[in-house]
């Protein structure tokens, strides 16, 4: 538990983002399948989701030489003698999906598990699709065991709840011995993340041919770049925007990347002129976005029904978090309606973070203005292991 005192900032703050876990986890999965040495460079401490992915890949034979701000991935992974492997994905649903797809290509028995938050998440979308390809998977919640290899090259994938199953199949494609044909079903969500996967895969020579809802993935000649620069975690920019709005000072992000990733979602929050904010493709922004709307000019957040299946039910728990700080909002089906010009007040009880790093960071940000006791603030290290230290530094 953290007891955060209220603070009053009078001058601008230099703020550094952690390495993007969306980028780094994807590059690690591809580097694992490469025969060449690859150096991954980043600007600050990687979060726990990245570290969980790295540790799992090391168990699968990946060899890494580490230094302060770079990891050298040595091509040609080690041979695994054991036929039974156990992987701990920690809090990371991304790692779980990507490693499940990778395990399905192996002639091994791979058991995947994680923390209490991960045990509540449903992985049926990808797992059912892999079963159709001939893979045996013992369940849809961790721990479950994957027995490959798959025997078919066609797969049906729904993207209505998550883009991760699609990303998982694209990223694991170098381990397949033939082209993969993916039939997409439903209206996609989190398309910014799927686009990121596609762009990274193309940089490695993975080819994708689309014909309406069919995607054919060819990756016979993967050639990963020798040096990979990981950008900052753009999904945490709304936390900096929230801190800036609460304290009336500029938060100058030192390593903000001028990239397209999540840029439209962040722009909607930064400009504060949209009364209806559609976060269908930017699900990670929902909680700080709701807090920003409340203290600015209000509005409605739509397109976030799929966030009920994230680390926690982010719709319900965002409402409960705001209520702790005296902020009113209303849930109508899967939309959040928020009145503007509200001033957060100090919570009268300990604020629950629901084992969700993005709710925790929003709670901590609000507490820098009101003061408050925050339960399990350390969960913020899933994305940013330096977050609490940075908060403490600006409150001195």
What's the pTM? 0.96
Q: What are the contacts of 209-217 at 24+ separation with CB within 8 A?
A: 213/183, 213/184, 213/185, 214/181, 214/182, 214/183, 214/184, 215/181, 215/182, 215/184, 216/179, 216/180, 216/181, 216/182, 217/169, 217/170, 217/173, 217/179, 217/180, 217/181, 217/182
The partner residues of 2 in beta bridges, in order of sequence, read: 374
How high is the pLDDT of residue 219? 82
Cα separation, 231 vs 234, whole angstroms: 8
| Average pLDDT score over residue span 107-130 | 95
Note whether 291 and 298 are within 8 A (CB). Answer: no
User: Is residue 144 exposed (0-12), middle (13-18) or buried (19+ Cβ within 10 Å)?
Assistant: middle
Secondary structure of residue 195 in the 3-state scheme: helix
Q: What is the pLDDT of residues 382-392, one digit of tens each?
A: 999 999 999 99
Domains and CATH numbers, the chain: 2-17+236-395 (3.65.10.10), 21-218 (3.65.10.10)
| Average pLDDT score over residue span 114-118 | 94
Q: What is the mean pLDDT of the chain?
A: 93
How high is the pLDDT of residue 392? 94
Cα separation, 285 vs 288, whole angstroms: 6
Give the confidence band of 310 by pLDDT, cuts at 50, 70, 90: confident
Cα separation, 157 vs 214, whole angstroms: 10
Give the confidence band of 300 by pLDDT, cuts at 50, 70, 90: very high
Q: What is the pLDDT of residues 311-350, one digit of tens each?
A: 889 999 999 999 999 999 999 989 999 999 999 999 999 9
| Average pLDDT score over residue span 248-266 | 84
* Terminal alpha carbon distance of the chain: 19
How high is the pLDDT of residue 26? 98
Cα separation, 53 vs 57, whole angstroms: 6
Q: Could you give the percent of the chain with pLDDT greater than 70?
A: 98
Tokens of 355: 């084992």
Q: What is the pLDDT of residues 3-46, one digit of tens each?
A: 999 998 989 999 999 999 999 999 999 999 999 999 999 999 99
Give the confidence band of 273 by pLDDT, cuts at 50, 70, 90: low
**Which of 43-47, 185-189, 247-251, 338-342 is predicted with the least confidence, judged by mean pLDDT?**
185-189
Tokens of 218: 């060819």
Tokens of 381: 């290290």
How high is the pLDDT of residue 172? 96
Give the confidence band of 258 by pLDDT, cuts at 50, 70, 90: low
pLDDT at 185 over 80: yes
The HSE-up count of residue 36 (CA atoms within 13 Å, CB side) is 12
pLDDT at 274 over 80: no
pLDDT at 215 over 70: yes
| Average pLDDT score over residue span 113-117 | 94
| Average pLDDT score over residue span 194-207 | 95
Q: How far, CA to CA in Å, does 195 sit from each of 113, 166, 176, 179, 190?
A: 28, 10, 21, 20, 9
How high is the pLDDT of residue 259? 66
Q: How far, CA to CA in Å, does 378 sit from each of 25, 311, 325?
A: 21, 15, 20
């Amino acid at each position: 538990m953290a007891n955060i005192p209220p603070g009053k900032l009078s001058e601008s703050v230099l703020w550094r983002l952690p390495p993007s876990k969306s980028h780094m986890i994807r590059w690690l999965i591809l580097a694992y399948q490469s025969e060449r040495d690859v150096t991954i460079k980043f600007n600050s401490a990687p979060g726990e989701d990245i570290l969980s992915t790295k540790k799992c890949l090391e168990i699968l034979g990946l060899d890494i030489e580490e230094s302060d701000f770079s990891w050298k991935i040595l091509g040609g992974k080690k041979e695994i003698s054991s036929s039974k492997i156990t992987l701990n994905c920690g809090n990371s649903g991304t790692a779980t999906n990507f490693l499940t797809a990778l395990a399905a290509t192996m002639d091994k028995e791979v058991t995947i598990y994680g923390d209490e938050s991960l045990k509540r998440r449903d992985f049926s979308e990808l797992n059912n699709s892999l079963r159709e390809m001939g893979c045996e998977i013992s369940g849809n919640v961790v721990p479950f065991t994957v027995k490959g290899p798959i025997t078919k090259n066609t797969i049906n994938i729904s993207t209505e709840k998550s883009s991760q199953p699609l990303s998982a199949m694209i990223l694991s494609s170098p381990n397949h011995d033939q082209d993969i044909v993916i039939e997409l079903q439903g209206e996609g969500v989190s398309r910014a993340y799927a686009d990121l996967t596609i762009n990274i895969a193309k940089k490695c020579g993975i080819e994708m041919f689309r014909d309406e809802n069919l995607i054919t993935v060819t990756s016979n000649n993967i050639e990963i770049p020798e040096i990979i620069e990981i950008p900052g975690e753009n999904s945490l920019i709304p936390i900096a925007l929230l801190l800036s709005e609460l304290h009336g000072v500029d938060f100058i992000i030192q390593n903000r990347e001028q990239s397209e990733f999540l840029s439209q979602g962040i722009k909607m929050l930064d400009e504060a002129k949209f009364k209806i904010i559609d976060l269908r493709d930017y699900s990670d922004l929902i909680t700080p976005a709701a807090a920003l709307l409340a203290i600015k000019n209000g509005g409605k957040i739509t397109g976030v029904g799929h966030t009920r299946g994230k680390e926690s039910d982010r719709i319900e728990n965002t409402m409960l978090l705001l209520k702790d700080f005296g902020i009113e909002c209303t849930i109508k089906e899967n939309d959040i309606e928020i009145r503007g010009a509200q001033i957060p007040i100090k919570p009268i009880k300990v604020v629950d973070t629901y084992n969700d790093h993005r709710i925790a960071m929003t709670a901590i940000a609000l507490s820098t203005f009101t003061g408050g006791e925050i339960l399990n603030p350390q969960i913020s290290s899933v994305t940013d292991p330096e977050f609490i230290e940075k908060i403490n530094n600006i409150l001195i």
